[in-house]
Structure 1
Amino acid sequence: METVQPSTKASNLLQNKFLQTILLSNMLLQIGIWVRNFAILLFVAEKTSNDPYAISLISVAEFAPIFVFSFIGGTFADRWRPKRTMVWCDLLSAVSVFVVLLTIHFGSWQSVYLVAFISAILSQFSQPSGMRLFKYHVPEEQLQQGMALFQSLVATFMVLGPMLGTFVYSRFGLEISIAVMGVAFLLSALVLIRLPEDVQEDRPAAVKGQFRQEFVEGFRYVWQSQVLRVLGLVFILAGLAVGVAQALNLFIVTERLGKSEEFLQYILMVNGVAMLVGGGIVAVFAKRVPPQLLLAIGMLVGAVCTVIVGYSQSVPLTLVTQFINGLVFPCIHIGISTMILKWSQSSIVGRVNGVLNPMFIGMMVVSMSFAGVLKDAFPLVAIYAGAGVLFLMGAFVLVPIMRHKAPEYTAEAQQVQAQL
């Protein structure tokens, strides 16, 4: 393996060329994704007169590839050069968008589902590659701060994204909205060319059955690590809680608060602003707090806030609780991402991410699917109390690993790029 001597002095995080590039790329992707999401949602709702089945297919197109391709994408991400993988995924996404756009233009409006479906497939190869590059190019002590910056970017678009997507669609229509997504992905690919060159790894020549062996190795690696096993359980519990709470948010607005459906946007906006602030706070204090503790704090506060939201019939109390919940939510995302990076060798980060990520998404989709059944059988107060208990259980299962220190991979310490 080609080795590069690590930087002798820690550079300011925002001066890190890798992080500047990856944040700009993600900003462009967020613009494309939010414009796409709202364009497809509003277009399908308008085209089908709000048919629930047609609208639910949008979520299927977005989430189904995660189940099928996350494990496979993570394995290939560990085999392929990460920079090249990310550039090609964005390029292929852009090309697929323009091909689908032609199909829509000539009369097959159902092709809009393919835009989300193809993009979701390619993201399962690109995202774990980005995690590998993070491991290479961000010093260990700055990993948590870097993740906090990512979370702040996502939170910013949770506030601005719906407004941007709605404006573009209502002003320019479906085809321009889809084209905006294609251009955004194309620009992201061009930006990613600025990334430092991939570290060359001496891999044995491909042999029959090697992919299957590496695929299985990802599951074995997670199972053999107590920290990653616990993290998998936290993913499952958090996914179940988040899914049911998100699915029934509208009923909190209409039944518990007595407001119209439109009031939900204000709750989401308050939550998004709080996530942006929370991400900034975590970025400042990240070095001083172990990721396990950060995750536990997020789960505990999430448990309390979820129960209060279920009980509350007061608009001010609900808004304040949602703000507090959004403020600590970055602790969950940043804690989880940092633990995956710190407890995984760079050669297997993609597979670890591919094993753990579907646990959260899968359980979230399962709980969203059963949310309607639960709503018919139980009052909202009981359902949200149950979701709070799931968050609480997630915090408690972290106790046995709270004092664990991340292993030091001496070979990887030499792979930090000189560009830092």
Structure 2
Amino acid sequence: MTANQPASAFSLLSNRFVQAILMSTLFLQIGIWVRNIAVLLYVKKMTNDDAFAVSLISVAEFAPIFVFSFIGGTFADRWRPKKTMVWCDILSALSILAVLFAMENGTWHAVFFATLISAILSQFSQPAGMKLFKLHVPEHLVQTGMSLYQTLFAVFMIFGPVVGTFIYQSYGIETAIGVMGAAFLLSAVSLAFLPRDRDDVGEQQNSRVVEDIKAGFRYVWSSKILRTLGGGFIAAGLGLGLIQPMGIFLITERLGKPEDYLQWFLLVNGIAMIIGGVLAMSFSSKLSPQKLLALGMTVDSLAMIAMGLSKDYWFTLGLQFISGFALPCIQIGINTLILQNTKESFIGRVNGILTPMFMGSMVVTMMLSGLMKNAITLVPMYIIAGLFFLLGVAILLPLFKLQSGIEPVAEKALAE
């Protein structure tokens, strides 16, 4: 394994598709992190630290994912994936002009619109990217490729919050929104270097959209692996939604630190993700993706519970490191399971069905998180979140006995 690993990484990095998609992701992460931090601090300031308003930022980001993921995944299977991704980035950049115009006319709530539009368009772009990954990366390198991809995300867990905080505090929300728009445009330019779409990929107009959606549901339901993965998604989404908007209150209320300490928590989390991603890459051939996923969820669940109980800053920071260390195992396991167990022609729809199971359950508890925080405090919320993750692990246990690969039973979805 150790001898083959550098060769595998080199093969991936020399792949034209991987080069273009990593460059696009680089610019997208700049824009997304500037948006995440700037909008969070701006809304918190404009609403005088209102927990409900802060939770609405996350709702604006994740609720559209639930609504549009079905449609976006279906059209990702019908349209040419490269063209889809480029146009999504261009439209995201153009939407920023409307946001800046509204803010110039005194409507500060327009910052929610910036998050809303990018979240909607990502539901068309993300499954198209997964489709390209399926087409251009050899199957035996998929898990290694996912590790490289997630490592790039981890790097921005370190630099993203620092950059976002600096731009907002130094130049204000208008400049931060402008940086976001420029980043989307640069991402579109990077995607122009992707290999040209094959003539037989996308542009499938022989069936109706509704029929394609129904076929996608039949495909997922006929696969025991994908069906079980969906159940784990729901449990994890319920847990994550409870605490996702509450991180800043954990720092300011539970630990008694200033709000700008959030960037250091995210910094530690990012460092841990890089280390975890590299290690996951090193033993990707020794551990199945389902076991990798269950391991990450178990560690994260225990870390969540301990973070809720802790009042010590340094101990909580250490738990944040542990949580970040396990996160790549979850992300790599999920993406690898989907890619290994889904036909290329169904990649978009499988993403469009499984993602709402996670996001929809997360949005439900996310919408309640602000009210629950005022009613039962942070401690029980973090404990409940950890228990939901443990429930997800229990749901995934039957997958340990299954072999990876596309199940023959799923072929029924093609014939019905």
**TM-score, normalised relative to structure 1:** 0.87
Shift of 1:54: 4.8
The residue type equivalent to 1:28 in the other structure is F
User: Residue 116 of structure 1 aligns with which residue?
Assistant: 115
AA of the residue aligned to 2:344: S
Please state whether the residue corresponding to 1:402 is helix, strand or coil.
Answer: helix
Whether the 8 Å CA contact 2:27–2:184 is kept in 1: the answer is yes
Structure 1 residues 301, 134: closer, same or farther in 2, change over 3 A? same
**Alignment correspondent of 1:5:** none
Specify whether residues 366 and 84 from structure 1 end up closer, same or farther in structure 2 by C-alpha distance, changes over 3 A only.
Answer: same
The corresponding residue for 1:36 is 35
SS of 1:287's partner is: coil
Question: In 1, Cα distance between the equivalents of 2:359 and 2:153?
Answer: 17
* RMSD of aligned Cα (Å): 2.6
Partner deviation per Cα, 1:92-114 (whole Å, 9 max, x = no partner): 11222224333433444433332
1:144 corresponds in structure 2 to 143
Specify whether residues 313 and 12 from structure 1 end up closer, same or farther in structure 2 by C-alpha distance, changes over 3 A only.
Answer: same
Query: After the TM superposition, which residues 150-161 of structure 1 pair with which residues of structure 2 at under 5 Å, given as runs?
Result: 150-161=149-160
What's 1:361 paired with?
359
Partner of 2:193: 194
Rounded Cα–Cα distance in structure 2 between residues aligned with 1:49 and 1:314: 26
Deviations 1:98-133 (A, max 9, x none): 243334334444333322222111111000000000
Residues 116-135 of structure 1 correspond to what in structure 2 (within 5 A)? 116-135=115-134
2:23 aligned partner: 24
Partner of 1:338: 336
Deviation at 1:53, TM superposition (A): 5.3
Amino acid at match of 2:337: M
Q: Is 1:321 the equivalent of 2:339? A: no
Residue 236 of structure 1 corresponds to: 234
Question: AA paired with 1:314?
Answer: D
Shift of 1:384: 3.2
1:303 aligned residue (290, 301, 304): 301
Residues 52, 370 of structure 2: 8 Å contact kept: no
- Corresponding position of 2:78: 79
Q: Which of 275, 291, 304 in structure 2 is aligned with 1:277?
A: 275
Q: How many residues align?
A: 401
Q: Counterpart of 2:181?
A: 182
1:78–1:351 Cα contact (<8 Å) kept: yes
Q: Does the 8 A contact of 1:299 with 1:332 survive in 2? A: yes
Trace 1:249-268 onto structure 2 (pairs within 5 A): 249-250=247-248, 252-253=250-251, 257-259=255-257, 261-268=259-266
8 A Cα contact 1:142 1:287, kept in partner: no
Aligned residue in 2 for 1:14: 13
Q: Pick closer, same or farther for the CA change 1:193–1:205 going to 2, 3 Å.
A: closer
1:44-83 aligned within 5 A: 44-50=43-49, 54-83=53-82
8 Å contact 2:161–2:266 — kept in the other structure?
no
| Counterpart Cα distance in 1 of 2:182 and 2:204 | 37
- 2:92 aligned partner, one-letter code: S
TM-score by length of 2: 0.88
**Whole-Å separation in 1 of the counterparts to 2:55 and 2:247:** 16
Please name the residue that 2:225 is paired with.
227
Contact 2:161-2:263 at 8 Å conserved across structures: no
Amino acid at match of 2:132: L
Shift of 1:373: 4.8
Alpha-carbon distance in 1 for matches of 2:402, 2:354: 19
Q: 1:265 to 1:31 in 2, by over 3 A?
A: closer
Match for 2:83: what amino acid? R
Letter in 1 for 2:312: S
Aligned in 2, Cα 1:389/1:104: closer, same or farther, shift over 3 Å?
A: closer
Aligned residue identity for 1:132: K
Partner AA of 2:366 in structure 1: M
Q: Which runs of 5 or more structure 2 residues have no equivalent in the other structure? A: 1-6, 409-416
Q: Distance in 1 between matches of 2:27 and 2:113?
A: 20
| Kept after mapping to 2: 8 A contact 1:74/1:128 | yes
